[in-house]
Amino acid sequence: MEKEQILKIIESGETQEVELKQSFHSSQEFSKIMCALANTYGGIVVIGVNAKKEIVGIEEDADVLQQKISAAAQAISPPLVPKIEVLSLQDKKIIVITVQKAMINTFHTFQGVIYVKVGSTLKRIEGNQMVDFLRAKQFLCFDETPSSAKMDDLDTTKIKRYLSLRKQNDFLETHSVEDFLVSIQLASRNGEIKVKNAATLFFAKDPILFNPQMEIKLVRFEGSEQVKIVSHELVQADLIESIDRSMAFIKANIPKSIEIENELKREERYYYPIDVIREAIVNAIAHRDYFSKDAIQIYVFEDRIEITNPGSLPQALPRELFGTISVQRNPLTYRILRDYGYVEGLGSGIPRMINEMRSYGLRDPEFGIYEAFFRVILRNAKSELKPIKSHKDLNERQLIAIEFLKKNKSIKTKMYVKLNKVSLATATREINEMMKFSYLKKIGSYKGVYYVLKE
């Protein structure tokens, strides 16, 4: 580590990733510290700095001290191999110990206890915190956990439909439904059949009975604020039906625009690419934290759609790699959705969403990564438009003209009349209104007049 870098670290003081120690007091203390750093974000320990952040140097022989540090690291289970450096600062020797963050699906203990760093404090993991810690480390996956459901609670028709999808229609001729669920790891057999949560998410007769948190709240608001509710629906169904009903609600609550190819060809299309909406919903269902009691929320506004699911990114997925690789919080759920053709598992979903929004002439999706939830915002073309009046948007005819201008660069009053099947007087009035509120710019004079979008 560079001297300038370590000086800045010392000056900043202790944090979740930095410990400053005047001396090596005890092997146990350092075992706990290194264990905690590895279980959190990794970090460094600097020996030879006092509580006032003054460099006092080490008193012991550096070689002896390195041996003690190595022994403390070996006392951790599984053992750590930290990087140990001896540096000279202000004519004094200090030791810098660098501890790497534990890999996902790995954690360390000292004398049977899990330690973590919370801020600059060392903390033992106990009680309910143990469950949260193991979930974060993906030692506990909700969909792989046994459910209280019995085989009678599952809908055989749904299972047979899934078998047909997998082209295994003849499986039940020689095997039981229980055999099938065990073969695809949706149940275990140890004397008796234990159904896993994933099976109830897809195949339960009453999925909400076993997973009340799997609700999806759908709301259509008037305008762009969460004030007046226009329509709403609470979906309480298996995951496949949940996707279908969510898509149906959104399609019923988003308008269509007129796609103008030329003056003779007009085609209706939704304000958003439907595949992008479906991808966002499937991602929310596949990656949500099912240990959370909160529901997925899908809000439809005049200018955007917001899809929010409980659970941030899995610890195994760094923010900088989001959208480039696929990390599965719910591996069984993910696999079944893939069988249904909803996910590919190759990390291509996010880039595909971005490309489709761009090809639609819309802004990139916005991804909000928070501590306890994840949000996708899809904005339509109206989010780019200025309102003609307070609380008033462009009418349908004016939007058709905007769409035409995006492709054809200019429009004349006669074309406005032809596109919208209105009188010359109506066309003139609506074009003047669009000019008044800075949508259009008038070019030319008399019979040569035409209009372009104002920059």
Q: What is the pLDDT of residues 191-243, one digit of tens each?
A: 889 999 999 999 999 999 999 999 999 999 999 999 999 999 999 999 999 99
Q: Which of 302, 445, 451 is nearest to 380 (CA)?
A: 302
Q: Which long-range contacts (CB under 8 A, 24 or more apart) does 415-423 make?
A: 415/263, 418/263, 419/260, 419/263, 419/266, 422/397
Residue 389 has a pLDDT of 44
State pTM to two decimals: 0.66
Question: Taking a C-beta distance cutoff of 8 angstroms, is the pair 54, 99 a contact?
Answer: no
Q: Which of 7-11, 232-236, 316-320, 414-418 has the highest mean pLDDT?
A: 232-236
For 175-194, what is the mean pLDDT? Answer: 91
Mean pLDDT, residues 170-181: 90
Please tell me the predicted confidence (pLDDT) of residue 312.
80
Residue 406 pLDDT > 90, yes or no?
no
What pLDDT score was predicted for residue 105? 72
What average pLDDT does the chain have? 88
**Do residues 30 and 22 touch, judged by C-beta distance below 8 A?**
no
- Whether the pLDDT of residue 316 is over 60: the answer is no
pLDDT at 391: 36
Half-sphere exposure of 314 (CA within 13 A, CB side): 25
User: At a CB cut-off of 8 Å and minimum separation 6, what does 109 contact?
Assistant: 35, 76, 77, 115
Count CA atoms closer than 13 A to 183's CA, side-chain side. Answer: 10
Contact status, residue 43 vs residue 17, Cβ threshold 8 Å: yes
Q: How many CB atoms lie within 10 A of CB 409?
A: 10
Residue 289 has a CB neighbour count (10 Å cut-off) of 20
Give me the mean pLDDT over the 4-17 stretch.
Answer: 90
Q: Identify the structural domains of the chain with CATH numbers, from first to last.
A: 3-133 (3.30.950.30), 143-207 (no CATH), 214-383 (3.30.565.60), 396-453 (1.10.10.10)
Strand segments, DSSP code E, in 236-392 are 256-262, 265-270, 296-300, 304-310, 366-369, 373-379
Q: Is the dihedral of CA 421, 424, 429, 433 positive or negative?
A: positive
pLDDT over 70 (residue 347): no
28-87 pLDDT tens trace: 999 999 999 999 889 999 999 998 999 999 988 999 999 999 999 999 999 999 999 999
